[in-house]
Chains A and B, each alone.
Chain A
Amino acid sequence: MAIVLYGRSCDPVLQYFCHYLQQQESIVVFIDQDQLGTHITLDQVGWHWKQGPSLLHQDIVSVFNRSASLHPAISYPMAQQQYHMRAWSWLDYECPMVLNRPRFMMSNTSKPYQSLRVRSCGLSMPRYACLANVRMIATDEPLIAKSISAVRSVVGPYVHKAGDSVQEPVLFQARILGDNVRVHVIGAMVVAIRIRSSAVDYRYAEDVDYTCIKLPDAIRQSCIDISQELGLPFCGIDLIYYDSAYYFLEANPAPGYNAFERHIQGNPISQALYGLMQPGV
């Protein structure tokens, strides 16, 4: 029985997890989404390589899915578009174990929508406002501005200037000066890492400190509830800890967990992923 890694060959997360699985002597099959329709095909029976053997669906125990949408600005050959949809359909409705199914990864395309979905899960939420096609007015409250959608933006403090306006919808959030906490939920397992940095967006900072922490039971349970509510058995939840409260920022359905795990001892996330992807789990 094989574990399938599905996505792009250049993806460092797939490369990292593949390396871990090989150390466990697992049978791992990598399927490059960019070769669908040209070198790889898919039907009801299995996956077929043009020059090589086939992999039957019945021989697949689980799939680690990191595939990305086809870029709307690129004109892909029809065969590639069709196979891409076939693969996602198979992941969504036919394959018994997928981390994560494409249809459940969509909540992240709207940050305020995702917050609305998980607001009953017991975590605090920062005050926020969505603004578009309006002129900004000065406020005493420290704010940060970020992309409202899944399109990545550099998150930064908002500094008001007279005559400022926003065009496309932008998410303005009350700035909370606390510790960033990245919580990886893997089934019922939780791995929390505190990140300290002088920057608002630690992803773009150099002075970053990563420490594994133990979350209070209630917060841990809230994170599991969020992953279940969103249908994401594997997710990376961004929290901020400030004044004895944990604030929910967002849940990432395709977390780049390797960037965190390499800063802590051992491979707790990879290990938990491997455990979750075994037969019968």
Chain B
Amino acid sequence: MIWLINHTDPLGVVLHDLIQEQQQDVVAMTTMAMPRYAAIGQDQGREVLWWQGNCYPLEAMQLVYCGVLPTQSSGSIPSEKIKDWLYVTNAWQAWLRYGLARVPLSLGVLPDTCWIDTWRHIASLASLAPRYGMLAPLYRYVQGASYGDNYAYLSSCMVDNVDCFSVYKDDSVLAVAIPDGHWLQCAQVGNTCYVIRCEQGHWAPYRLSHNQRAAIGRLTRAWGLSVCHYVMRQHKTGEIGLYGASPRLDAQIVSTYLPLIRHHLQKEYLAQCY
């Protein structure tokens, strides 16, 4: 049995299509729908999850995929009910963390350290990059004034993709030096690293050196992740600087490498679930 949660992100969609093509047993849900439509309990001494009238023992789950919704917002919540709502949300999230940890094979599941976002804060990346043979981004906190055109500006301390960099605006919080070179976007899926590089405004597949790919794999594992998207800058020397990280893969990189990613998911994950 395969358990899909929040599978509407780019990698989740690929996985879901593959599962349907192969008619494998799957139960799919979103975290938003769980409080209303899921039930958990015990049946004949086994921990079980009920969903849409069917009963799924947790021990029967062989693979779980947990993706990232575009926004983790809750929608519109009446303010007088916020305390109850927070309690209920926390309770479901707490159970989900437990349930996910019970499944032997997992992909994309956010681990313990990623439930807060500090791991992908640019200051954290700058601190971690040299330990993995990468260059640290040069950044300055913006205190209400521009440092000039030599910098790119961010309105958040986290970089999801290259589009996050812009010119100085009132809400800019970080100024980041962008050295000459090329932008890279990298999708780490399990032990494989898929990279695209921007040249003259066009993204094309690119292959990093063995050492660079190994370093990215080590960093991803150090965070306890199996899926991670990176934004990097390749300097003219060939060295790469680490500028951003996100648990949600970019659609462009997934579509660029679609046949390879499908083959990878099939071989490394779905083939274990027959």
Q: Which residues in B have their C-beta under 8 angstroms from that of A134?
A: 39-41, 50
Q: Which residues in A have their C-beta under 8 angstroms from that of B82?
A: 73
Which residue of the partner chain B has the closest CB to A106?
B115
The interface size of chain B toward A, counting residues with CB under 8 Å, comes to 43
Name A103's contact: one of B40, B113, B143 (CB within 8 Å).
B113
Taking the complex as formed, is B101 at the interface, i.e. its CB lies under 8 A from any CB of chain A? yes
Kindly state the separation between the CA atoms of A161 and B47 in the bound complex, as whole angstroms.
23
Given contacts A41-B143, A93-B123, contact A132 B98 (CB under 8 A): no
Q: How far, in Å, is B73 (CB) from chain A's closest CB? A: 10
Q: Which residues in A have their C-beta under 8 angstroms from that of B97?
A: 109-110, 113
Contact between A170 and B90, CB atoms less than 8 A apart: no
Taking the complex as formed, is A196 at the interface, i.e. its CB lies under 8 A from any CB of chain B? no
Within 8 A of B (CB), among A9-43: 41-43
Taking the complex as formed, is B56 at the interface, i.e. its CB lies under 8 A from any CB of chain A? no
Given contacts A129-B41, A169-B40, contact A149 B123 (CB under 8 A): no
Binds B, one of A84-92, A174-182, A211-219: A84-92
Within 8 A of B (CB), among A55-80: 69, 72-73, 78
Kindly state the separation between the CA atoms of A42 and B47 in the bound complex, as whole angstroms.
47
Q: Which residues in A have their C-beta under 8 angstroms from that of B240?
A: none
Contact between B40 and A149, CB atoms less than 8 A apart: no
Q: How many A-B residue pairs have CB under 8 A?
A: 140
The interface size of chain A toward B, counting residues with CB under 8 Å, comes to 45
Name A130's contact: one of B95, B101, B128, B156 (CB within 8 Å).
B95
Name B173's contact: one of A82, A92, A109, A110 (CB within 8 Å).
A82
Taking the complex as formed, is B202 at the interface, i.e. its CB lies under 8 A from any CB of chain A? no
Taking the complex as formed, is B86 at the interface, i.e. its CB lies under 8 A from any CB of chain A? yes
Contact between A110 and B79, CB atoms less than 8 A apart: no
Contact between A110 and B98, CB atoms less than 8 A apart: yes
Q: Which residues in B have their C-beta under 8 angstroms from that of A227?
A: none
Contact between A149 and B90, CB atoms less than 8 A apart: yes
Kindly state the separation between the CA atoms of A175 and B41 in the bound complex, as whole angstroms.
18
Taking the complex as formed, is B239 at the interface, i.e. its CB lies under 8 A from any CB of chain A? no
Contact between B41 and A168, CB atoms less than 8 A apart: no
Taking the complex as formed, is A194 at the interface, i.e. its CB lies under 8 A from any CB of chain B? no
Contact between B94 and A88, CB atoms less than 8 A apart: no
Q: Could you tell me which B residues sit within 8 Å of A by CB distance?
A: 35, 38-42, 47, 50, 79, 82-83, 86-88, 90-95, 97-98, 101-102, 112-113, 115-119, 121, 123-124, 127-128, 140-141, 143, 156-157, 171, 173
Given A44-B140, A130-B98, A167-B35, output 19 extra A-B contacts at Cβ < 8 Å: A43-B141, A73-B83, A78-B171, A93-B127, A94-B124, A103-B119, A107-B112, A110-B94, A116-B98, A116-B101, A132-B40, A133-B50, A134-B39, A134-B40, A134-B41, A150-B94, A151-B86, A151-B90, A168-B88
